[in-house]
Amino acid sequence: MISFGKSASKSSFDATFSWVERQDVLVRVGFADDEYDVRKYLLLERERHPTIQDSKLGFGELHIEIDDQSNSAYGQIRRCVLREDKALVWFEAETTLALKVSEVEICFAFQRLQLDEIERGLALLFEDNPTAFESEI
């Protein structure tokens, strides 16, 4: 069992803005506390078809960024749950060590169309590991 010590924590914030970008080569899902004056955010990004070289270097994994570009890592998410009023994300042990965050809770009040778009984006992010993503919307 890996101990995260006191350095790993839970991050939580209220999001008023989200975005989903789906391209042939990239999928990106993000949540932020504000559209313009961003202080708290979570950005998840994955290349859809990484090269063999990228995969060997770890770039085929999710790129995760929390609140600042300096707090980012390529890693794995153990579980992601999307609900009508929040998203919950738990990181794998190595990712937790890199980010010093073990889980993120994002509360929001998005409209149904926005939730559907987030759900589609997250499903694409987890297309290689669909059991890690659960939608409860």
Q: What is the pLDDT of residues 23-71, one digit of tens each?
A: 888 999 999 999 999 999 999 999 887 677 766 666 668 999 999 999 9
Task: Say if residues 20 and 87 touch (Cβ distance below 8 Å).
Answer: no
User: What's the structural domain count of the chain?
Assistant: 1
Asked, for residue 131, whether it belongs to a domain, the answer is yes
Asked, for residue 41, whether it belongs to a domain, the answer is yes
Asked, for residue 2, whether it belongs to a domain, the answer is no
pLDDT tens per residue, range 89-121: 999 999 999 999 999 999 999 999 999 999 999
C-alpha closest to that of 44 among 55, 30, 34: 30
78: pLDDT strictly greater than 90: yes
Asked, for residue 3, whether it belongs to a domain, the answer is no
Task: Say if residues 65 and 74 touch (Cβ distance below 8 Å).
Answer: no
Mean pLDDT of 75-89: 97
Task: Specify the pTM.
Answer: 0.88
Q: Which residue has the higher pLDDT, 48 or 125?
A: 125
Asked, for residue 92, whether it belongs to a domain, the answer is yes
130: pLDDT strictly greater than 70: yes
Asked, for residue 1, whether it belongs to a domain, the answer is no
Asked, for residue 102, whether it belongs to a domain, the answer is yes
State which of 11-15, 72-76, 129-133 shows the largest mean pLDDT.
11-15
Asked, for residue 4, whether it belongs to a domain, the answer is no
126: pLDDT strictly greater than 80: yes
**How far, in Å, CA of 125 to CA of 129, rounded?**
9
Tokens of 67: 């609140």
Domain holding 92, by residue range, is 9-135
DSSP string, 68-103: STTSEEEE-EEEEEE-SSEEEEEE-HHHHHHHTEEE
1: pLDDT strictly greater than 60: no
